[in-house]
Amino acid sequence: MTALWTSGDIATATRGAASVDFAVSGVAFDSREVGPGDLFVALKGEATDGHRFLDQAFAQGAAGAIVSDDCGYPHVRVADSFAALEDLARASRARTEARIIGVTGSVGKTSAKEALYACLDRIWRGQAHRSVLSYNNHTGVPLSLSRMPAATRAAVLEMGMNHAGELAHLTTLVRPHVAIVTAIAPAHTEFFRDESAIADAKGEIFAGLEPGGTAIVPYDSPHRDRLIAAAQPHAARTVTFGTDKAADVRAVEAMRLPTGGSFVTARIGEKELSFTLSQPGAHWVSNALAVLAAVDAVGGDLGLAGLALAELGGLAGRGARFTATLPGGGEALVIDEAYNANPASMRATLAVLGEEAGRHVAVLGEMRELGHASADYHAGLAEPMLAARVEAAVLVGEAMRPLAERLEGRIAIVHCADASAALAAAREMIAPGDAVLVKGSNGVGLARVIAGLKGA
């Protein structure tokens, strides 16, 4: 198997010095994720120092390390290991001829990234690459780039931010041929004056477009024109997607299927494609349109992309479904949306819950980083919950108090402090035949509720 990096490659890219010759097949900066043959990048952070975990990394099979301190293992010594990780990312981007797609947005970016990767991998088997998990920040993006094999044909990189200026830097590393903004919605509003400022920060992704690049923008967004204006100085072509007839890529029709997904007929410029979308909800139709726009922009086979969209499995924490066996007997459907939440994604997934059969139960964790408007955003979930015919809810976290007060006397509610209490309350509340949505900001820890229900 061809090495991902040799010690010589790493030393050249990072302007470091190799202690011995070695080759690696992967890259990691979390010692818990190191596997046989990996390069371990010992990062120094505010809370910890990766050099403390060198023994663990090599015990787990690391073949080499990037270090800035003394090291008795095979290594490349550099002045700054974080700067070296970025340098390795730049070297990876420079050596590839892959078509690169960057994805950002307030909601839907991880789902769109995974769907797009499934399409690219269906088109170019074994030669597609993507960011893993939600590695989309100042460390995750260079890590994802440094993991990209030189022979990659197409890659999709997710980019996130919670402050202005972050994407402006990340996009210079990724240098996408295609840049997607999935949607603009209230998220991280603690750090932005309004949604227009969020749109401006997301629009930074277009500044990194390669010459001749394509910008993909949500037509139905109230910030469409703002995003188009951000793209115009950098994009040779701007493509819009949405449900409006004026969108460049649009859904001519989208019919819900008994399986929960949709049958979609999409027009992509002058082309038309009918396909089955396995994932439920109008937000997934929007994701699929953005994905098809990107596949078309890189010259991919739309028919194969349609097949990939039909076969998408649920993503853990982002719509995966399972049947929970209840302690007293019987089963309930659980929709796992536990990874993250903001007002827009809460509304979208509550609408999906509302389409399910049976009694509807919601286990909702507080939405974080919403700033001074947090109380209004939380109380505002009452309307979509009632529209989804939610009959019982477990609300988790102090920020959920305004919603609990708004719903008092209208549905059965348990308001609790943390995920452990939420799991206990959910076990008491859920009955056979229920459809249960579990969703909240990642820091609330509702993954523990999911794990508990899986083991119930």
By DSSP bridging, strand 360-365 and strand 5-6 are unpaired
What is the spatial distance between Cα 66 and Cα 40, in angstroms, rounded to a whole number?
6
- Alpha carbon distance, N-terminus to C-terminus of the chain: 43
Known binding residue 181? Answer is no
Known binding residue 454? Answer is no
Known binding residue 110? Answer is yes
Phi-psi region of 299 (alpha: psi -120 to 50; beta: other; left: phi over 0): left
Known binding residue 105? Answer is yes
Q: Find the length of the chain.
A: 456
Nearest to 396 by CA among 440, 355, 351: 440
For residue 147, give both structure tokens: 């993991």
Residue 233 DSSP label: T
- Judging by beta carbons within 10 Å of its beta carbon (0-12, 13-18, 19+), is residue 193 exposed, middle or buried? exposed
Q: Which helix (H) or strand (E) holds 297?
A: helix 282-297
Known binding residue 131? Answer is no
Known binding residue 109? Answer is yes
For residue 331, give both structure tokens: 């089963």
CB 216 within 8 A of CB 298: no
- Judging by beta carbons within 10 Å of its beta carbon (0-12, 13-18, 19+), is residue 191 exposed, middle or buried? middle
CB 450 within 8 A of CB 334: yes
Distances (CA, A) of 122 to 26, 126, 179, 255, 276: 23, 9, 21, 25, 16
Q: Which helix (H) or strand (E) holds 12?
A: helix 7-14
What is the spatial distance between Cα 93 and Cα 179, in angstroms, rounded to a whole number?
16
Rg (CA), the chain: 23
Known binding residue 8? Answer is no
CB 226 within 8 A of CB 205: no
* 99 phi/psi in degrees, rounded to 5: -80, 125
CB 43 within 8 A of CB 36: no
**Binding site listing:** 105-111
**Binding site listing for ATP:** 105-111
